[in-house]
Structures are given as structure tokens and as C-alpha cells.
Amino acid sequence: MSEIIVQVGSSINALMQEFNIITHNLANVSTPGYKRRCNAFSKSLMAQEAGVKTDSPGGVDLNSTLDFSQGSVIETGRSLDFALYGKGFFVIETPDGPLYTRSGMFQMNQNGQIVDSEGRTVAGEAGPITIPTDVGLSQLSVSSDGSISAGDTAIGKFKLVDFEDNENKLVPAGTSRFRMPDEDIAPVAAENTVVKQGYQEVSNVKMVDELVDMIMVARLYEANMKFVEAKKKVSSSIISVAMA
């Protein structure tokens, strides 16, 4: 019986973790470029209870993955808002190494460089992208391949990268930011990625789906807790009889 209690306890911990993942997703439903984290433990548990064979029967899968599917794109009209269509990331330069993001909410610092919301440089193919002092933001034009110009003057081009099959190995590093893991993977130049100026890619979290998952997790949690309480009562009754 103790083995069953341990297994149920592991299930309860996994369900709590999944609940936290869901609430985090819901908290970022309006965060531009946010990619939802998902954990399929509850669905695996439901399948096992229904007698459906799973990849790891009886096991507890605590691993969560990132869903990099495309979020909806909305128009903002802002000159330094950029959305990406297709796979790929903008590159943000930091003292601790590059970060990667789908959120193109940028601004200009006092040196005329395009930076992210925390003032970190957005990488261009030839280094930082600097807007000349005589060029107003309304004059900026960004083509679908990320090339930036003002009239006939070329200013720079966004550095866009892709991790291909290693995309799910990226590690969250702040709001809508990711970094490479410790293992040896490297980005390549993004292909077929379209940049859209004056638009933003919104979070790919679907509130209804998350709420449905939350209800399922809550019910499974309650059922497991009731099972534990029932076993405790049985154990207490056995002890009472034995001591009588």
C-alpha cells in the first residue's frame, strides 16, 4: 500500500506543477511574443485511468515543453513594432550572451540604436542598428526580409535566426526571451521568415483551452487527495483494531 501512496503523492506533485504552468500561461495571455509552456501529465493520467496505453505507464512525467506555434498578429501602427511570420527569432545582445525573442516591441536609445524594452541592443547582421539623427521614426521602412531603410538610405538589417529541430531545447530567460541551453546547439540564419512593421505577434495562449485544462487538473488533484484521505482512514482503523 505504501508504494501506491508514494505513486499517488508523485501524481499530486505533478498536478500541482501543471497547475502552476497553466496559471503562468494565463498570466501571460496578453504578453506579446509569449510562448505557452505545456505539460501533458494530466492528460496522460486521464488516459491511464481510462485504460489507454501510454508511453510510460505508471510513470510521472514532470517535463514541460514550450509551444512555439505562431501567435496571432495584430496591427499597432507603431514604427518600432515588428512581428515575425514563420519560424525565427530576433537576437538581443546582453553581457551574458545573446537572447532570442519573438517579441518585436522595440525602441530607440539615446545613441539612436534600436533596443528592446530593457535597453538591450537588438542585433543587426552587421552589428547594432543605428538610426541617423536626421531620420525620424515615421520615415523608417522595414522590408519583409528585415532590411531597414529611410528613403534611399540603407540603415541596417535585423539578424534573424532559427534553431530548426533544436527549438524546444531553448531555455526561458525572462518575459518572451530565451537563451541557448548548456548543450552544444547553435542557431542558423532564418529562412522564409517575414518581418512585418507596425504589427505585433501576440501570445499563443488560448484562454479557453487553458481554463479547460485547469478544471481537469483541479478535478484530478481532488480525486487523488480523496484517495489519500481514504487510505489514511483505513490505516487508522487497522491500527485502532490492532491496539484494541
Give me the pLDDT at residue 59, please: 47
Section 188-212 average pLDDT: 94
pTM for this entry:
0.79
Give me the pLDDT at residue 125, please: 96
Is 68 in contact with 166 (CB distance < 8 Å)? no
First to last CA, the chain: 22
Find, among 92, 77, 113, 74, the residue nearest to 200 by Cα: 74
Poorest-pLDDT segment among 71-75, 134-138, 232-236 = 232-236
pLDDT at 58 over 50: no
Give me the pLDDT at residue 227, please: 66
DSSP string, 62-88: ---EE--PPPPEEE---TTEEEEESS-
Write out pLDDT tens, residues 80-104. Answer: 999 999 999 999 999 999 999 999 9
Write out pLDDT tens, residues 134-176. Answer: 999 999 999 999 999 998 889 999 999 999 989 989 999 988 9
Percent of the chain with pLDDT over 90: 60
Find, among 47, 68, 65, 64, the residue nearest to 56 by Cα: 47
Give me the pLDDT at residue 234, please: 53
pLDDT at 9 over 70: no
Give me the pLDDT at residue 52, please: 45
Percent of the chain with pLDDT over 70: 79
pLDDT at 228 over 90: no
Write out pLDDT tens, residues 110-119. Answer: 999 999 999 9
For 198, the grid coordinates are: 507596425
